[in-house]
Each structure stands twice: as structure tokens, then as C-alpha cells.
Amino acid sequence: MNANLPFRPDRFQGALTTSALGRFLTYRSAVDTTMELARRAAAEGAPHGTLILAETQTAGRGRKGRSFHSPPAGNLYFTFVLRLSAETQRLLPVAVPLAVCEAIREENIEARIKWPNDIWVGERKLCGMLIDAESGPGGITAFPGIGINANGDPALEPELAAIATSIRRETGEPVDRELLLARVCNRLEAALVASQADIVARYRALSLLLGRPVTVSPTNAAPYEATAEDIAADGSLVVLRDGSRETITAAEVSVRPVR
């Protein structure tokens, strides 16, 4: 398999078992960001489940406005257009990383979820995502934007070599991107109709953090040390700090080495 072949939409859609997700596909060689293209598509009436996919992004964006490195090296950069009820939209912070992580694990690697929604293998990041949403007259439209290091090698970038990895780097084998992306779609559509208890339990089972010492860095407060204890029903992180439990909805959380 040539890992850098152009994406084959017919092969991808032939592997779908969904009714909506991935059935409408826009594929580009290069875009500013798939998120922005998805927003424009939604404004023009793109149906629920529309998938925007690009080989590279020139202005990829991560959480908190950070840039997202998106080299043209056989990876997956994509955003969904999801038209959801408010109840289903609240499931996305758990359902999206769960679906992506489970799909990646089918490549026979021990991928886990680093709260809130990064996917790691060991101590290196393999996948990042950003979930935006907006309300309008027709309800809520969500835009989960996801980047998976599939066939690229972050080790070629000096600033990423020690902190990032890819599926191919972990397995030594090229990744069938079409089948991987189809698995993400299939699993996400199923997760969106699963019970909240079910997807939270599966998320917990794949958590990288639970039981480990962490450093919590709130946006407007000093960092502090704690132990990651649980994932709440809404996807919040529960930590034990000085004998008291705290629930975190937004913060940077890093794993501390065991002393």
C-alpha cells in the first residue's frame, strides 16, 4: 500500500455502515481549515453528517486558538457538519473522542483518551480535535474538527519528535485511511444514539488519566497538583486535591511522573 496515495472516496464510502455520517463528502487537496469550509457548507444548507476532508490545512487550528500542524503526508484532517438536538449535542465531548479512539484501536495500538479529547499512544499525542457549535433558527449545528496522524511521521519535525506520534510510526505498517475514516464515521453515528451511561463508561475505560497524578492549569488561576479520579456523566474531569474532590470543565491537564 502506498501511504501517500490520494484519498479514494469510493473505497471510503463503500466501507460506511452509516445512514448519514460521511454520506455527503467534500474532499480537497488543500484548505485553510476544514472547520471553516464546514461552516460555509452548513450555511449553504449542507445536510447532517456532511464530511469535509482535506489532505492538508494551511491554517489548522487547535484548542485555545493554537495552530494545528497539518503536513501533507498521508494523514486525516476532517470536520463533520452535525445538526443535533440540544440533548445529543451535550454528548459530543464524550462521544467524539470515544469514537475516534475506538476506531484507532482497531489498528492494534493501545490508543487512549487524554482528557478532554486528545488521543495518545503511550506518552505521545496521535490525534487532536476541536468541537465547535452554534445555535440558529433550525437548532444546533456542531462542527467536530479532527486531525489524526495516520501515515505521517512527526519525528521529522524537531519540535514534535518527542511529543507526537502516528499510527504508522507505532505499527510500522501503512494505514488504510479510507477504512480508518469509515470506522470513525460508523462508530460516531452509533455513539450519538447510545445511552449517555454507555458512552461515558466506555470513555472511562479508555482514559489515559484516571488514577494518575496530574497538574491542572486553570485559565485564570495558578496550576495545582491533584490525582485524576473519575469522568463525570457530562464528560467533566473529577480530581482529588488535598483530600477534596473537584470537578473540572475546562483546564489544561498534564500527567506528572510518579515520584
Residue where the block lists cell 450519538: 192
Please choose, from the candidates 67, 26, 64, 44, the residue with its C-alpha nearest in 3D space to the C-alpha of residue 141.
Answer: 44
**Tens of pLDDT, residues 9-21:** 999 999 999 999 9
**Tens of pLDDT, residues 87-104:** 999 999 999 999 999 999
Q: Report how many domains make up the chain.
A: 2
Q: Are strands 244-248 and 252-255 parallel, antiparallel or unpaired?
A: unpaired
**pLDDT above 90: percentage of residues in the chain:** 80
* Range(s) of the domain holding residue 247: 213-255
Q: Are 53 and 77 in contact (CB under 8 A)?
A: yes
Indicate the DSSP class of residue 172. Answer: S
pLDDT band at 4 (very low <50, low <70, confident <90, very high): low
4 within some domain: no
The structure's pTM equals 0.92
Both 71 and 175 in one domain: the answer is yes
Both 54 and 128 in one domain: the answer is yes
pLDDT band at 65 (very low <50, low <70, confident <90, very high): very low
Task: Give the separation between CA 210 and CA 114, rounded to whole angstroms.
Answer: 9
Residues whose CB is less than 8 angstroms from the CB of residue 234 and which lie 6 or more positions away in sequence, other chains included: 90, 93, 94
97 within some domain: yes
